[in-house]
Structure 1
């Protein structure tokens, strides 16, 4: 800068001159054959192939003379990377991470976050990309919103069916017991697979997108079992039975259909739980979560749904007393005799 001021020129003149010789500079236009062409100035490639070519480049100083541009610049050799990687406009480096044998991708992401929080210096952070980014986003608020919407739609449909805002809670509050079974089975199978010779058969599982799909499917299947019990218990209550007996006999009437359909589904999902080959990890997670949810949900709902029906039907009748539409109990005689023996 001092040399430029002494010669009466500005640093921008130096940079513009170098741009014209080495990088090219737009000068003007000219018309030919009915078209407009741009005029670009740039030195010959042979005249700009090495550092010695700087001595041949001159710039006009304050006195009107042409001075070599090398008088106003100095060149230092600096070594740097050939390629600079960027992520979201920040300088970055790409790290490929794969979970070790016996661990899931979710566990690897958790370990990565812990190491980054402990080891990265100030001003450095990390971001996920590719499939890892999709996995992290899928396990966030979007999944929770989907579950909430499922519960809301089931509640609204059952409210319309039962003409009650209270009784559908007997169905909804029984669903979490089946979902709990999915988590117990997935975590239990993963633990068994990690500590025994069954590792190659069972593998490792985690709460990933496959398990979330299984949970959404189970919400409908478990609600179906509870709806059957509540529907039959409500019919018996309308016949004139007490709330307690209506719940017990309703559950007894649907015991065999619930066991048959639930066990049939469990048996049908066994090949998915013990899958091999391409996509086996996803199939195992989906199958194990579904089997666990159906088994635990089936066993719990048989006992829990009648209790919930008694509670919420009692509250419902406190709000709106029962209107007896059918006072003829002949349909219930055979059933009462069956359980009275």
Structure 2
């Protein structure tokens, strides 16, 4: 019995396994960020499925031949479990009866009359005889009703797309919030620290914050600060990280003189490239005014800040050359005195080495006149024979000016950027609105916008996933065609693939989940998972047909026999993905969209596959019989043509 059972499902198991492998291998070798995310995942699943194929042909038949099949007295030691299983069995039997009736109706050739007024529209418009608009009679079979209904449901699912948010990846509750603060340009380190202390006082009103680490000043300048907040564990607080971010943003808006941004990488990022800095500043300001009106924009910031106050030393070349003073000498003299320089090390009483820095005192480097009083060595000698020293103001003019904080370039052009967070809306939808503004902005020649950040990553990932989806479909068809030795039957099996989209979109909409790289990966994975149901049906129908069973009876028998294993595998898939879909554990929000997409796709694909695949099978079978009869007729006509001269003789 074990050998016969293995032989019966052998083809279906092999086809299902290779179809799943054909999906996960392209996922593993995708390029870009998605490939980095899912390389190990794709290879692990592919190898695990191949190992399970070996186990199903070796260990499982051996165990099933050794284990006794429980008789009617099963669960005698656990009565409540026996009663529960009896109820489950009753439900399964009822599903068998209902499905059998539904399948028999779906594959029958019963005709229905329809009155379709649209049939006369073209005739009335062409002949201007409006009496042609009267309803016309048409007939449609049960199989046609099933196909048209499935097609309408599939096309109607696209209407759900505008109601589903879009983003690169879901926001994860990491119990960590990072704040970036900046004060006006030119603010001293002490003033910036004072503003940060005000921020810290406001943050004390949030009991969810258990630790705050502050850094004042950075490579961006003395007017920047970073505050990193550690929150209590997610299970120990009633507010999510997203809710706390919203509350913190609102509370800190009351502090004057600071600009606030949450997070390290803001999802909205647009670069503007061009040759002239002043024109770039004007264009990015106009762009920012329009972006600020987009719903959901928060923490917007422009990279082009006000210039820092600076002192410019303009050397008098003639005077400096006469005294033998070069630009390099001026820089080498001024730099250590203003910025400081380590000249030696001091061994302290604690046996530790300490740096000894030389720098002018603060009161000696505040004004331009202080800088002019610095002395430089010349190549001229005084009466005493020593080299003369002259003040800097004697050979240079010191002018108060401004200097940009940082100059950024891209593609050999000056670059300014706009950054923003998204609040209350998925970042992808906010990014689409920003993209519309980019497309409508009129720029002078030589200037252009470049979308960057998560929007760019999402576009690249979507393109990679579409390519992976195409490869998966091609590989699945090749595997099925080789396993079933037919080019048409894989079409019936793969008809179950589009119906996964219905469940995916419904699941994302009902759970409030966005369309992101993880939900899209779940959709691609479904291409291999949902074909197993159709493979079981088609394989059993083929075996019955080879045994001499009629087409109608073979499909009914396949549905009744294969319904239980289809329900078992589908239920196992749903319950296996349920913890993933619930987002349990740390960073569970990342994998939850994939689990929800898989559950939704498996449910709808299973429900529609059980009815639609047998209907398509009947159409393909009739197509095959028609082609077979046509080929036989051609051969008969050829034989008659060959015999005609012989009969004439």
Whether TM-score is above 0.5 comes out as: yes
Matched, 1:93 2:390: no
CA distance in 1, matches of 2:590, 2:331: 57
Task: Report the alpha carbon displacement of residue 310 of structure 1 after superposing the two structures with TM.
Answer: 1.3
1:137 aligns with one of 457, 460, 472: 460
Structure 1 residue 113 corresponds to structure 2 residue 435: yes
- Return the offset for 1:124: 5.0
Residue 127 (structure 1) aligned with residue 451 (structure 2) = yes
| Separation in structure 2 between the aligned mates of residue 111 and residue 278 of structure 1, nearest angstrom | 32
Q: Distance in 2 between matches of 1:119 and 1:239?
A: 70
Do structure 1's residue 179 and structure 2's residue 501 form an aligned pair? yes
**Superposed CA offset, 1:91-144 (max 9, x none):** 2235242x324x333223223323444568653524323x554333211x2111
Question: SS where residue 92 of structure 1 aligns?
Answer: strand
In structure 2, distance between residues paired with 1:57 and 1:313: 101
Q: Distance in 2 between matches of 1:56 and 1:284?
A: 68
Q: 1: distance between equivalents of 2:415 and 2:394?
A: 35
- C-alpha separation between the residues in 2 aligned to 1:104 and 1:120? 27
Is it true that 1:294 corresponds to 2:602 in the alignment? Answer: yes
Q: 2:477 aligns with which of 149, 155, 166?
A: 155
Distance in 1 of aligned mates of 2:487 and 2:330: 81
> Deviations 1:279-298 (Å, cap 9, x if unpaired)?
23333312221111011011
1:56–1:256 Cα change, 3 Å: closer
Aligned equivalents of 2:448, 2:373: Cα separation in 1 = 42
For residues 71 and 21 of structure 1, what CA distance do their matches in structure 2 show? 12
Cα distance in 1 for residues equivalent to 2:438 and 2:628: 59
Distance 2:395 2:628 in 1: 96
CA distance in 1, matches of 2:501, 2:476: 16
C-alpha distance in 1, partners of 2:621/2:401? Answer: 82
Higher RCO (CA 8 Å, separation ≥ 6 residues):
2
Aligned residue number for residue 232 of structure 1: 540
Root-mean-square deviation (Å)? 4.1
Q: Return the structure number with greater strand share.
A: 2
The aligned residue for residue 280 of structure 1 is 588
Give the whole-Å Cα distance in 1 for the aligned partners of 2:332 and 2:410: 28
Structure richer in helix, relative to its length: 1
- CA-to-partner distance for each residue in 1:218-250, whole Å, 9 max, x for gaps? 111111111111101111111223333322322
Contact 1:174 1:301 in 2 (8 A): yes
Corresponding position: 1:245 with 2:568: no
Check whether the contact 1:106–1:206 (CA below 8 A) recurs between aligned residues.
no
Pick from 563, 578, 584 the counterpart of residue 255 of structure 1: 563
- Within 5 Å, give how 1:1-341 maps onto structure 2: 18=327, 22=331, 52=372, 77-87=400-410, 89=412, 90-93=414-417, 95-97=419-421, 99-101=422-424, 103-118=425-440, 122=444, 123-129=447-453, 131-139=454-462, 141-187=463-509, 189=510, 202=511, 204-276=512-584, 278-319=586-627
> What's 1:66 paired with?
none
Cα distance change, pair 51–165 in 1 and its aligned pair in 2 (3 A): same
Q: In structure 1, list runs of 5 or more residues that go unmatched.
A: 8-15, 25-44, 59-69, 190-201, 322-341
1:294-334 alpha-carbon deviations (Å, 9 max, x no partner):
1101110000010111122333344468xxxxxxxxxxxxx
Deviations 1:162-185 (A, max 9, x none): 111111111112211123211222
Partners of 2:465 and 2:521 within 8 A in 1? no
CA contact (8 A) 1:86 1:93 kept: no
- Contact kept, 8 Å, 1:179 with 1:218, in 2: the verdict is no
Which residue of structure 1 aligns with residue 153 of structure 2?
none
Q: Give the superposition deviation at 1:75.
A: 7.1
